[in-house]
Each structure stands twice: as C-alpha cells, then as structure tokens.
Structure 1
C-alpha cells in the first residue's frame, strides 16, 4: 500500500520521490509540471505494473534509508533474510561547472553489494500519457532507449542491458551505475561519471548548507526543511512550487485532490521569507525575476493567485483516467482552476515577498524606484479590492466573502509600500500609502471583530474562525499581547485544535467538513503560543510536530490527528516553511550554549 514515507531527490530543474525501498514512484519530466514518467504513486489500472524504477532484492527482509549528512543524496540499504544486502545511492546531479550551475534532467543510481552476495533484479518501467501509455523500447550495446511522444530517455549503464530488459534475477557481484536522462551519448565511462557526479553533487549541498544562518537547536530538522524548499524551486525561471505532486487527497476518499505543481504567490512569499531568514538569498533573487515579469505583465490589472512555473497564465484543470489515484482514491487532476479565482491577498503576498530587496545590501540586484513604481500598481489594486468578496486563501470554489486575511494582506501591501517609499526618500508616497494602510486597518479591525465571540473572525461580520487569524501578529497587523488577539487565540484553541494539531477551519466547505489538520496551521499556532509568552508549551508541541514527520524528516500538507498519518500533496512547502519559522522562533540563542 502506498504511503508518504518518501524521500525527495532533485536539482531545482526536476525532482523524484522514492519509497523506503528506493523504488522511484513519482517523477515528472522534463520539469516539475510535466508528464510523470514514474507515476506508481498514483497507481494505475494495471496494478502499478509500470511507472516505477526499483532494485528488487530477492527474499527481501527490510530496508534502511537516510539522507547523506547535509545533502540531497539518498542512501538506501536493502537486506534479505540471510543477511545479504545491497546499497543504492540516488541523486540528481547539481554542481558548479563552467561558472554556472549544472542541473540536467538526469537520474543517477549507484548500486553495490553491501554484504554477502545479494541477488537482485532491476525493474525500470517508465510510463507516459499520465499512466495511459508505455514507451517504445530499443537497445544498444550499453544503453536502452525509451521513446515517448514528448521525449526520449536513455539509460546508460555498466550492468548487462539484457538483465534490465528481461528483469533477470542475478547475483550482484560488483558495483553498477545507472544514468537515466536525455537521449545523449556519455562522453566518459558511466562508472566514472557516476562517481564524479556523486562527489560534486554531495559537495555542492554540503557547501550550500554551510552558509545557512541556523538556529542553535533543531539544526538537522531545519537543514532538511531548507534543502527540501530549495528542491521545490524551478531555478530556470525563479518559480517556487507548492508541492511536487498532484492529487494526493487531503483526506481519504474526500475528493480534495488538487494539482500543486504550480507557483502560488502566497505560498512563494512564505517560502522566500523562510529562506531569507536562513540567509539563503539567491532563491529570493531568482523569485524577484519571476515576480517582476508577473508585475509587468499585469499592467495594474487583476492579479491571478497562481501561475505556471514558466509564467503560464492558463492552468485549465482536467482529469486523467489513466491513473486511478493514490490508493485508488481518484480523480487525478492536472492543472488547477484556482487560477481563475479572485484571491485578493495576492497583492500583499507579492509586496511582502519583494520588500526585502529594498533593504538587504547583500543582494546583487536591489530594489529601486522603478521597481517600486511597478509595485505601486499592485498596491493600488489592494486599495480598490481589500473589502471586495473573494475565494480567500483556502480557495473556496462555490462562494465568495470578504475574508479577513485578504483584507489584512491588502493592508500589508500598503504598509510595506510606505516603508519602502521611506527607504527611497519618497515623502509624498510615504504619506499616500500610510493613509490607505491606516484606513484599511481601521475598517478591518471594526468589521472583522465579533464581540460576542471575543475574537476576530474569518470573514467580515462573520461567525466562523479560521487559522489564518493566527498570523495577525506575524504580519505586524497588531501586537500579540493585544487582548483582541488573545481572544482570537483562545477561540482558535476551542474550535480548531484537535489534540496536537490545528485545522484550517471547522465549518463545512465545498466538500463537507474538513477531516484532517493542516500542518502549517499547527506551526502558526505554535508561533502564536510563543508570541504570547507560552514558550514552553510551544516548544513541547513543536517537538511533537517534529515527531509527526516521516522517517526522513519531511511533511505533506495534511495530517490525520487521530492516526498521525500524513495526507495531501508532498512534500508541502508550506509545512516545511512552518517548521523553519517555528524553530527559529523557539530555539535558545547561540550565546546561551557557551
């Protein structure tokens, strides 16, 4: 049975998911939103007989799996019942070459006998057409080609191609290297390429983590989260995707199956903000380039909430019948109609994501007056739309209301524009944006407050609460010790918390009542506890959230508060962001350690 005990490999051009036994069960090529060449995670009508790549150990007993220290390289050891074992090293090459980053759409697998005389068979069964097709296979002396409508893959290896094509079980007597990528000949022996790519890739990630501004505590968890966020960035354009997968349901048989392989402006702000706090500024600089294109293209018009990773504006949603879905829980959706929604928080998300560029002297391309003027167009839309009904951050599909979070984010757009204008010495613009920030804030405080509940509410003049209200101090909208926020926190505890976990909201939506907690909301709650002085309680809950991660320290979008099982698309950048932010807030300072 499929589960989300998965590892991620990638290189900021593409990525893949491996299960505990190093079976590659998901990977889209040539980029994150492409056709899944490996799609067994979402099953198919053939019992997942294709769409995967594994090393099957005969008489298998158990597996051990880990990431190499401070790296995106995965090591898996498979053991049989007699003590024989095989080691599998998986990675996607990424390193500096010719003064630029080398990140080809290539899988590398290095396989060696680890103990005794393991008997294995190699099974490489790519698919195409979202599980509906099988590639045409041809072979050469040392390679196998998989011809598909959109691309051709070539496996180059020093293993006998016949053993791979016929899936012959055999004793693994010496190391084997497998390189799967574009249909191009290698220019040096495959074993040498595997060794060199491994050493350079492993060194790249260790060097990258050396420059992270880590908290004193929970460093391994933060490093793993940071690397995972980096792997979810599409470096070619600067886009940051919400997750690597599509259609893993938020809860069993819920129909809440969505494609998250796109760039949500809101999610990307949170990712960039978290990496900035760790000192990983290059991702922000790349994202600034992506956002600049969006801002220029919008021309002051409405801003859609989600874009394709190459700035695509149409993400029409469809269902793919060739895949039965995660554990057979379809449908499998490709595309996301959320791009057509009105979500007015996006204006604030863009301004917040780019504001640091005007203040951070480390950046090679700091924000300037010309870029500020482009951002002002978004600020003007925020002024126009802050009290207009929208789908909200939770993307409700059948109703619109004036959402408090959207109004607060529109306030944040105006507030940050005033601060940027002050930085640039534009006094008249400071006054302009402060005026509108004050106006929006005053009306939001009045209309989003429910005196009978003693809490802010999710929608103006409403009676329901949602977890986005926990972000009010984080966004600077009001201090954490404000009695109104303390009342809101108490209300969230009463209506949204279930055990150690927090739901987005409790009210029924388009699909009924939510069944699973939303992991980032639990981290928001942890941060709120810390902000109001309940630090020890926050630390204890944070430790329990760390224990809720999978075996390699990763989180999906959702979690069943009763069973602890992970649900929803994976790995969810929101969730990993929440982990980083909470660790930075809660960790003891370095000074106390010495």
Structure 2
C-alpha cells in the first residue's frame, strides 16, 4: 500500500514535538520526545515498516473530511458512512518552556449520528523501526516499552463500560475496537514518560483537556494584530509556525519531517527537523508583522546564544543550522531499511549541509536583530560584543566562494545572494551601532559594505541578460534575488531591478509558480529535477507588490493559495501535477505567505 499523499495530512503538536494525521485518521509521523528525536510512527516514509497509530471505522466504506477546530491546533477528522457519522478529534496539550520527556497525544472518538464501530491500532516502530519493543496489555490500556523510551496508552471510559473492547496484542501491536452510538464520546491518550501504569480517564477529564487546549490556542491567536484581506490563511500559517517552534529554546524547525522528496523517486530527500538560522531569522519579520513580539524576542535570544557560542567546529562564527536545543551535531546517515516515500531513496536523517559555508546567513541574522531592535527588543551588552566579532569576521571573509542559500553540493561559487546578504549584515550592523550608540569598527564595516555593493553591481549584473544572476561566472537566474528590494539593496522600481524581474517572469515563473533556478543550466551536484518552490512564489508576490504590479501580485497570491491543502498547509514545493512535495509543512513557506500578505495588503490599501 503506498504512503498517504503528503498533502493529505494535518498537523498537531505540543510546542516540543508534533504529529501528522492522515485524512483517514492515521498518525503516520511522530518523533518523541522532540522534533529531532527518532520516530515512533513513521509510515509516512515506509507504510509497511514505519509504524502507525490508526483510528477509523471498521470494515465499511466511508468518506472523510478534515478540518481544524476554529482558531486552534485541534484537528477533527470526520467519517461518513451509511450507518452514521463519527469523528476523531486529535490534539496534543501544550507543554511549557522546560524540556520534558512527557508528551500526550489525545484522540477523542465520537459518534455524531447513528452508530459507528471504530478500530484502534497502535503499531509503534521505535527509533526509525530499528529498536524492538515489548507490549503489555492491562485492563486500562497498554504499555509499549523499550530501553530508551516507553509509551503508555490510557483508555477513556465511564464506570459501566467494558475495558478497551476486544483488545489484543499481535506481534507487539495493539488492536482494539469501540462500538459507539450517537452522542457517545470515548477514546485514548498515548503518553510518553507516564508517571504510572495505564489508567482510566473519565470523559469529563477528557473534555477538560480539550477545553484547555482550545483556550490556549485562542488566547495565543488573539494577540495577532493582522486585520488584512487574508486573515484565515495568515492565522493558520501563524498557528503552523507556532506548532513548529520548540518552546524551551524558541528555535523554529524548518519542518517536522525528514526524507520527503523534492522529486518522487529522486534523491533530493533531506532532514528538515532542525533550526536554520536563515529560516528562523526571516520568521522575525512574520512574527513582528503579526504582533507576536514575545516569540520574536524568544528567537532573538536563541540566535544570540548561537552567536556568543561562535559555533565551535564550523566554518565561520555561525553554523547554518542547529538542533532545536542549540547543539550542532547533525551527522547525516541513511536509513537503508526504509523504502522511502513512494520509493524515494535514500531516506536521510541528520544533515551534512550544517558544515557548509553559506555567507547569506549573516545578513538574515543581522537583519532580524535590527528589525527586532526597531520593535523595542534590545540587544544586551554581551550580545553586542558577539555581533561585533561576527561583523569583524565577515568584513574579512565575505569575498570568497561558498555553497549558497540552496545548499548545493556541486562546489563553491561566488554567489550573488551571499554577497547581497553580506552587504545587509554590515549595513544593519552599522545602523544598529549608530542608532544605539554602540562601539564598533564602523569605518571598516562601511568600507567593506561599499565594496560589496560595487562588486554586486559590476559582477552580479549580467548586461547581456539584463538581470542580476546567480553567481559571477554564469548567466543563470536565481529567485533568491527576489529579496533584493525587500532588503533595500535596490529600489523596487529601479530599471535594473524591473529588468531582472521581467527576465524572471519569462524563465522561472510558470502559471504564477516560481522555480528556484534551472538545475540543468546550473548543476548543483544532485541528480533529477524539482518542483516550483512555494517560498519563492510568495517572495515573488512581495517583489511584484513593491514594484507596483499590484494586480499581478494579487493574482499570483490568490492562485498560490489554491495549491495549499484542505487545511491551508503548504509543503516545500509544488510538482508539475500540482501535487505538494518536499518536507511538510514547511516553515519557510508559511512565513513567506505571511510576509507576502502583509506587503500586498499595504500595497492594495495604498
């Protein structure tokens, strides 16, 4: 049986980890106790060997629909049969800001109309299916145990109910059944690091967990200041970004998944369960744009810690990515025993790109710190000392080949985007120092900033193409440069920029969707092709709006929204068929959606 389509999932989480739930009620991706921990359920990457936690009607034909409970991260999967209507309500009660091994997946099972029999199957495969487990069945649930991790399943019932009906263990998996009539609510809670054995949970306690979780999300979302045209999409994106933020540190994972392909059957399958300096820095724009100052400050603290540590072992003061706790060990390995999503191999965990030199990260980091400073989030003395060291290093090292924003594995090049963002880093450092009276090598920083500007204008510009290009030794276009007007390197209506935008229109844009670049024209060291990048499409909307092409921008934005899934979630890319591919959901895509909506709203209002 093939793996469920990437888009046919919803996301639930507790701000420490997250789970993906299919449209037919199966949890087929869940890592515990953190986003970057080994998986417990991994059927998303191997339906036969990955493991799952399934709740769905028994032996009958059914139709399904999936929706979020309004203004929350509580997911409802509804089943429609000839005998009745039922639903599974999934959520994870939010955990606090302290790291913990305790996490709960709550699965409320309800018969809405008529009657319905549900099958519950809990089939864990610990440590990516590499570790055997022991299963113990009790009157109140079950225990799934390994030497490293134990999961406890609690049953929800009232005093007159039987124990978990017809429960049995087959090859370490639990199989049980629930027969419900209209109005009945039962279910199960799967808990890691439980304080005791399985216990009975009464329906009232069950309902209380639901009410508390909904209240948490509504209280958080109420802080949003966005009142623009696309409120539903923007707020869903905000909740999704929050779900992918590790509460103990404020680190934002690029996606909660690994190994989902950029081309079905291809090798571009990466682990995104880490915090990229680039992605998380761009999130500051989105968070502050929506009024979430506390979240922006939390990430600023995380970034400050990384700058002060100087990322031992890296190729510069910062690594391009870290684990959610801030550590930097991300050794890449291949899960040879897994088939991969629809045969897409290799399945990788870890990410060797962490050791690459990508100069653009310094621009994104400094820009986010400067934007936060403008919003009243100050930089402490020790933080400024570390920033000075970063800027001094960059002033000396910016003019060298690098791997670039897209983490190519085809050798280092003098990427224009890396130079652009090095200019941003030095420019924002100067502005930060002068606006707050901080000491620094301002003359040197300004001298190098101006050298970068002149170099990009002379060598990054290709006169024959009439466009800024990917790197100095090519005529290939790169949609990363769509950020040039946003970071104020060039005026959004400068003739050189309008010409670049026109060239991108003709080469990188297809039905409003945008490719990163042409890998055939600019080999990146990997076989195969890829889809359009949703991040780039939303950045294109931003660039169009700034260039005064408001109608083009609005049409592109509205078209792009149609490529989201039934819940408004986006993966990394869109295939030629319109199918979502790549890791899911992707933070970069959702924060770009928010930023594009804010920019476009302002342009249309004007």
TM-score by length of 2: 0.91
Match of 2:489 in 1: 477
The answer to whether the aligner puts 1:494 opposite 2:506 as a matched pair is yes
The answer to whether the aligner puts 1:200 opposite 2:200 as a matched pair is no
Q: 1:515 to 1:296 in 2, by over 3 A?
A: closer
Distance between the aligned counterparts of 2:480 and 2:10, measured in 1? 29
Out of 511, 528, 540, the residue aligned to residue 555 of structure 2 is: 540
- Give the 5 Å matches for 1:410-421: 410-421=422-433
Conserved? CA contact 1:73–1:202, under 8 Å:
yes
Instruction: Name the SS for the 1:130 alignment partner.
Output: helix
Tell me by how many angstroms 1:513 deviates: 5.6
Q: Deviations over 1:503-541 (max 9, x none)?
A: 000132222463310111111111111111110111011
- Give the 5 Å matches for 1:361-372: 361=376, 363=377, 366-372=378-384
Conserved? CA contact 1:215–1:583, under 8 Å:
no
Match of 1:566 in 2: 580
Conserved? CA contact 1:132–1:323, under 8 Å:
no
The answer to whether the aligner puts 1:28 opposite 2:25 as a matched pair is no
Out of 161, 165, 180, the residue aligned to residue 164 of structure 2 is: 161
- Give the 5 Å matches for 1:362-441: 363=377, 366-426=378-438, 429-441=441-453
Q: Deviations over 1:239-279 (max 9, x none)?
A: 11100100000011121000000111111111222112111
Match of 2:104 in 1: 106
Match of 2:172 in 1: none
Match of 2:43 in 1: 40
Conserved? CA contact 2:388–2:440, under 8 Å:
no
Tell me by how many angstroms 1:378 deviates: 1.2
Instruction: Name the SS for the 1:37 alignment partner.
Output: strand
Out of 561, 571, 576, the residue aligned to residue 556 of structure 1 is: 571
Q: 1:196 to 1:277 in 2, by over 3 A?
A: same
Tell me by how many angstroms 1:294 deviates: 1.2
For structure 2, the 5+ residue unaligned runs are: 158-162, 170-174
Tell me by how many angstroms 1:357 deviates: 3.7
Match of 1:3 in 2: 5
Tell me by how many angstroms 1:448 deviates: 0.6
Tell me by how many angstroms 1:192 deviates: 3.2
- Give the 5 Å matches for 1:97-176: 104-158=102-156, 160-161=163-164, 163-165=166-168, 167-173=175-181, 174-176=184-186
Tell me by how many angstroms 1:381 deviates: 2.2
Match of 1:88 in 2: 88
Tell me by how many angstroms 1:161 deviates: 3.2
Conserved? CA contact 2:508–2:517, under 8 Å:
yes
Q: Deviations over 1:383-402 (max 9, x none)?
A: 12222101000111121101
Q: CA RMSD in A?
A: 2.3
Conserved? CA contact 2:266–2:528, under 8 Å:
no
Q: Deviations over 1:422-466 (max 9, x none)?
A: 121247654443333222212222111111111111112421111
Instruction: Name the SS for the 2:143 alignment partner.
Output: strand
Distance between the aligned counterparts of 1:149 and 1:60, measured in 2? 40
User: Which has the larger displacement, 352-361 or 251-260?
Assistant: 352-361
Conserved? CA contact 2:73–2:239, under 8 Å:
yes
Match of 1:178 in 2: 188
Tell me by how many angstroms 1:490 deviates: 1.2
Distance between the aligned counterparts of 1:590 and 1:83, measured in 2? 50
Conserved? CA contact 1:179–1:190, under 8 Å:
no
In the TM superposition, structure 1's runs of 4+ consecutive aligned residues that sit over 4 Å from their partners are: 99-104, 427-432, 588-592
Match of 2:52 in 1: 51
Instruction: Name the SS for the 2:589 alignment partner.
Output: helix
TM-score by length of 1: 0.93
Q: Deviations over 1:294-335 (max 9, x none)?
A: 111117954221111112212111111232111222221110
Instruction: Name the SS for the 2:126 alignment partner.
Output: coil
Instruction: Name the SS for the 1:55 alignment partner.
Output: strand
Q: 1:29 to 1:168 in 2, by over 3 A?
A: closer
User: Which has the larger displacement, 378-387 or 9-18?
Assistant: 378-387
Conserved? CA contact 1:154–1:184, under 8 Å:
no
User: Which has the larger displacement, 179-188 or 331-340?
Assistant: 179-188
Q: 1:100 to 1:279 in 2, by over 3 A?
A: farther
Distance between the aligned counterparts of 1:367 and 1:238, measured in 2? 17
Conserved? CA contact 2:531–2:574, under 8 Å:
yes
Conserved? CA contact 1:421–1:429, under 8 Å:
no
Conserved? CA contact 1:52–1:124, under 8 Å:
yes
For structure 1, the 5+ residue unaligned runs are: none
Match of 1:18 in 2: 21
Q: What is the aligned length?
A: 583
